Amino acid sequence: MNKYWKISIIIALTIMTIGAFYTHSAYSSTQLPQFHIKEERGNSELIKNVAISAFYMVDSHGEGVSIEQNKTTYDSEKSFFEQFNRDYARTDSTIKQLQKKYRNFMRGKLNISSFYEDKQLLAFADIDNNTGNGSRSFIFNISVLNKKTGNSTSFKYEIPSPEKYNHIYVEDVQYFGKELKVLTRSYQQNIGGQDVSKYIFDIPNEKLLSKEEVFAGSKTLLEYSLIPNIDPIQPSKYAVFSISEPVYEPEETEAPEPPKPKEKELVVYDLEQNKKLDTIFPKEIQKINTDAIQPYVDGSTAYFAEEADQKVKLTAFNLETGKIDNEITLPIDLKGKYNEMRVVVKDGKFYLLVKNHDMQTANVKIMIADIKTESIVFEGRLAADKNMRQSLRSLELYDIQIK
């Protein structure tokens, strides 16, 4: 046996080190801070389904992290299969769920704005931008799945005169009767401005019924931005656009100043009736800086949030009646100079995540408000197990997800 000692050492060394590396906690445990959500008041049941996704960055080290009530998961701690799938699904839980339910239909379909789902069907419309290699074409790929029968139809439609466009993408897909309506944004060749157009497809006959310019940005040189839906795939009758003068960012901005609120106008477009509504938004909503906190549309309600004097005010505006349904003010009450916010509205609740910081302090606060009763139902803070201030400062918040 003595003559085998060299090979024995190599085998033992390999098994022990590699084995230890993948099993022993000295190697597998992280020294990165562990976060949890500390409840301050309210119902802690509400925070159970909340996950904050963020990026943790200290000097040379940076990785994605997901924080739940009592659990911190860094990307490197996830299993290989989770890491492998993540890039594909782009953490979009809606797409992940659809992939589970309709595995074959969902093949190769990723763009969340391109989906529409109701009780009967799941529809998808996207545009292939082929602009390389001298050739130029923009082709609609349309597929509709009947959820009951499992049958799907799909067809293509090539947009005429492709030389006019630089690129075109889908902003929203809706379905009324037998008509699939697709809102697109097209960037023109050579001239500035973007056109918002609506394509209506007859699904049973697999053909284009009509194309209409909703807003001709290439002529007016105004910016038309669509306020996103809370759930981008659910049926939604109204599309709300914010119209403003384009702002050209001055070059060489050393210290990034908060962007000034733009002069703008809000317009409601009824996708079912194919016309603009004459809903008039009150002045106080028109002047809200929508670049600071993302507004959302949910059915016939639009939610606008605004920060002022360490308070965040949420306004629920009814698009049909043109009246303000609910208003609620959440006090932030933190000392830091800067506030970064993420908001989500889900199931009648308003979720607010604030990172408040300056040279001296760093705090991350999370608040949940019930919109109907206009009351705060949960308030809490993010806490770290070590180096609290430094750890919170190193956390770049992405968004909040409600399961």
Partner 1 sequence: MNHFFKLLNFEINRFIKIYASLLAIVIIIQTIGVAVVSNSFVNRANEMMMENRWTQEEFIKSNGKMSFSEFMNSFWFAGPIAIAATALIFYIFLIWYREWYGKNTFIYRLLMLPASRYSIYFAKALAIFLMVLGLVGVQILVLPLENELFKVIVPNALREVLAVKDLIYTNAITMVLIPSTFTQFLLHYSAGLMAVFTLFTAILMERSYRFKGIIFGVLYCAAVLALFSAPLFIAAMLDMGNMLYPMEFLMVEIVLGFIASVCSILIGHQLLTKKVSV
Q: Residue 163: phi, psi to the nearest 5?
A: -65, -15
- 48's CB contacts (< 8 A; 6+ apart) are 69
Which residue is listed with tokens 């430094």?
390
The CB-of-364 to partner 1 minimum distance in angstroms stands at: 22
Contact 90, 96 (CB under 8 A): no
C-beta neighbour count of 32 within 10 angstroms: 20
Q: How far is the CB of 87 from partner 1 (least distance, A)?
A: 8
338 binds partner 1 (CB under 8 A): no
Q: Which of residues 79-138 bind partner 1 (CB under 8 A)?
A: 79-81, 83-85, 87-88, 99, 103, 107-110
Query: Considering beta carbons, is residue 74 or 176 the nearer one to partner 1?
Result: 74
Q: Pull the structure tokens for residue 298.
A: 């949910």
How far is CA 296 from its chain centroid? Answer: 11
When binding is defined by CB under 8 A, the residue of 41, 62, 192, 373 that contacts partner 1 is 62
Closest contact distance (angstroms) between CB of 291 and partner 1 is 31
Amino acid at 185: R
Q: 259: exposed, middle or buried (C-beta count within 10 Å: 0-12, 13-18, 19+)?
A: exposed
CA nearest to 380, candidates 359, 403, 338, 351: 351
For partner 1, the closer of residues 31 and 253 by Cβ is 31
Q: Sheet harboring 311-318: ordered strands across?
A: 296-298, 301-308, 311-318, 323-331
Judged by CB under 8 A, which stretch of 52-60, 318-326, 327-335, 361-369 contacts partner 1? 52-60
- Contact residue for partner 1 among 70, 76, 93, 97 (CB under 8 A): 76
Nearer Cβ to partner 1 (17/120):
17
| Cβ 274 to partner 1 shortest distance, Å | 33
Rounded Cα distance between 124 and 141, Å, is: 8
Closer residue to partner 1 in complex, CB, 58/222: 58
Q: Which residues, 257 to 296, sit near partner 1 by CB under 8 A?
A: none
7 binds partner 1 (CB under 8 A): yes
Query: How many residues belong to the chain?
Result: 403
Instruction: Assess 20 for contact with partner 1 (CB under 8 A).
Output: yes
Q: Residue 128: count other Cβ atoms within 10 Å of its Cβ.
A: 12
30 is a contact residue toward partner 1 (CB under 8 A): yes
Identify which of residues 81 and 248 has a Cβ nearer to partner 1 in the complex: 81
CA distances from 102 to 27, 98, 149, 172 (A): 40, 6, 12, 20
Asked if residues 190 and 216 have their Cβ atoms less than 8 Å apart, the reply is: no
**Nearer to partner 1 among residue 15 and residue 308 (C-beta):** 15
Is 32 a binder of partner 1 (CB under 8 A)? yes
Number of residues forming the site for partner 1 (CB under 8 A)? 42
Nearer to partner 1, 194 or 394 (CB): 394
Binding site for partner 1 (CB under 8 A): 3-4, 6-7, 10-11, 13-14, 16-18, 20-22, 26-32, 58-63, 76, 79-81, 83-85, 87-88, 99, 103, 107-110
